[in-house]
């Protein structure tokens, strides 16, 4: 335990310290040396009181330390006693557990022996019942044994009944195997028929699709043939129309050429124009007509009546020279 000396001495000094009261004197009447001696006396008395308190506190602390040491020793002894008691309890519990286990084992062994005896009795009763059942079955099958021995004697092929039974068992096993193989073959045949039916259906579906495609292609071929016939008829019409247009164009060119030759011959106009240049020939003819119209207008008398006004110059069309735009030429 930790004690604060100041906190302990203050109440001790306040409660237990009882100093004899010095009669009060007038401080003014005392000399300084006397006052100093009185103060020293008071301090000495306080020091003696504090020393006694310190001594008492030291003794009390020593007693407390001894008491603490005794308590520690007692606590250590109690801890050892508790540990020993715990070990004793554990050992006692272990002994009781072992005793209980041995008692349980004894009871279980006794119960197991009783159960084993009961099981053996039940098994013996079952075996006796099975023996009785086998005896009854033997009595019921005795006629079959006599029959088999008679068959063995009549056949004369086998040495004893077990050999004959083994032979017939092998035959039965072979028959069962053959039946199983036949059943498997039937199953495979059924699966093959199912696959064949499926393939037939798929082939029919594909054949129908192919027929539909062929019908569509035939329809397209007929439509293409019809379009070809229409195109050929249109081409023949175009060719006939082109021939007619070509013939008409040749006639027009021939008429223009005749007019050009007639105009140049009568009017003595220089005809330095190529025979294939129909447009130039036509322009020349138009110029000649315009000149004749102008001459007629000048020669017509005024008093004879109003003459028809001169016809305006016909516009010369040059579709090949002017890009298809008609350009009117002025009168000369």
Query: In this structure, how many other beta carbons lie within 10 angstroms of the beta carbon of residue 280?
Result: 17
Closest CA to 261 of 287, 292, 285, 280: 285
> If you average pLDDT over each of 2-11, 165-174, 210-219, 255-264, which comes out highest?
210-219
Beta bridge partners of 235: none
Residue 275 inside a domain? The answer is no
- Of 134-148, 234-248, 310-324, the range with the lowest mean pLDDT is 310-324
Report whether pLDDT(22) > 50. Answer: no
Q: Report yes or no on 4 lying in a domain.
A: no
Residue 58 in domain: yes
Task: With a cut of 80, say whether residue 331 has pLDDT above it.
Answer: no
**Which is more confident, 17 or 99?**
99
Does 171 map to a domain?
A: no
Judge whether 212 lies within some domain: no
Domain ranges, residue 56: 33-156
Tens digit of pLDDT for each residue in 121-151? 888 888 889 888 888 888 887 777 777 777 7
Specify whether the CB–CB gap between 32 and 6 falls below 8 A. no
Of 46 and 156, the structure prediction assigns the larger pLDDT to: 46
Could you read off the pLDDT of 185-197 as tens digits, one per residue?
999 999 999 999 9
Sign of the dihedral defined by the CA atoms of residues 153, 158, 163, 166, in that order? negative
Q: Which of 20, 89, 13 is closest to 51 using CA atoms? A: 13
91 inside domain:
yes
266-291 tens-digit pLDDT: 766 666 677 677 888 888 888 888 88
Name the residue with higher pLDDT: 313 or 196. Answer: 196
Q: How many domains does the chain have?
A: 1
Residue 187 lies inside a defined structural domain of this protein: no
- Residue 208 domain-assigned (yes or no): no
- For the record, the structure tokens of 55 come out as 């001594």
């Amino acid at each position: 335990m930790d004690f604060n000396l100041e906190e302990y001495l203050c109440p001790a000094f306040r409660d237990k310290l009882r100093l004899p009261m010095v009669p009060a004197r007038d401080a003014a009447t005392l000399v300084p040396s006397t006052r100093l001696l009185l103060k020293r006396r008071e301090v000495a008395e306080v020091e003696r009181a504090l020393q006694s308190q310190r001594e008492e506190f030291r003794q009390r602390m020593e007693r407390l330390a001894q008491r603490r040491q005794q308590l520690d020793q007692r606590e250590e002894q109690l801890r050892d006693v508790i540990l020993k008691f715990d070990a004793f309890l554990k050992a006692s519990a272990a002994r009781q557990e072992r005793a209980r286990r041995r008692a349980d084992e004894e009871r279980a062994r006794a119960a197991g022996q009783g159960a084993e005896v009961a099981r053996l009795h039940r098994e013996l009763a079952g075996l006796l019942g099975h023996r009785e059942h086998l005896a009854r079955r033997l009595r019921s099958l005795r006629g079959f044994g006599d029959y088999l021995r008679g068959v063995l004697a009549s056949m004369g092929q086998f040495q004893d009944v077990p050999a004959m039974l083994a032979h017939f068992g092998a035959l039965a096993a072979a028959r069962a195997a053959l039946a199983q193989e036949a059943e498997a073959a039937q199953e495979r045949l059924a699966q093959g028929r199912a696959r064949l039916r499926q393939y037939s259906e798929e082939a029919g579906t594909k054949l129908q699709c192919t027929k539909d495609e062929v019908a569509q292609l035939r329809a397209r071929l007929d439509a293409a043939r019809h379009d070809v016939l229409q195109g050929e008829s249109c081409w023949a019409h175009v060719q006939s129309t082109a021939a007619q247009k070509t013939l008409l164009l040749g006639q027009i060119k021939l008429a223009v050429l005749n007019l050009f030759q007639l105009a140049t011959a009568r009017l003595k106009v220089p005809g330095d124009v190529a025979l294939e240049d129909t447009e130039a020939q036509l322009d020349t003819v138009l110029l000649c007509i315009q000149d004749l119209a102008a001459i007629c207008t000048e020669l017509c008398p005024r008093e004879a009546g109003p003459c028809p006004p001169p016809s305006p110059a016909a516009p010369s069309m040059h579709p090949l020279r002017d890009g298809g735009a008609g350009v009117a030429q002025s009168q000369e």
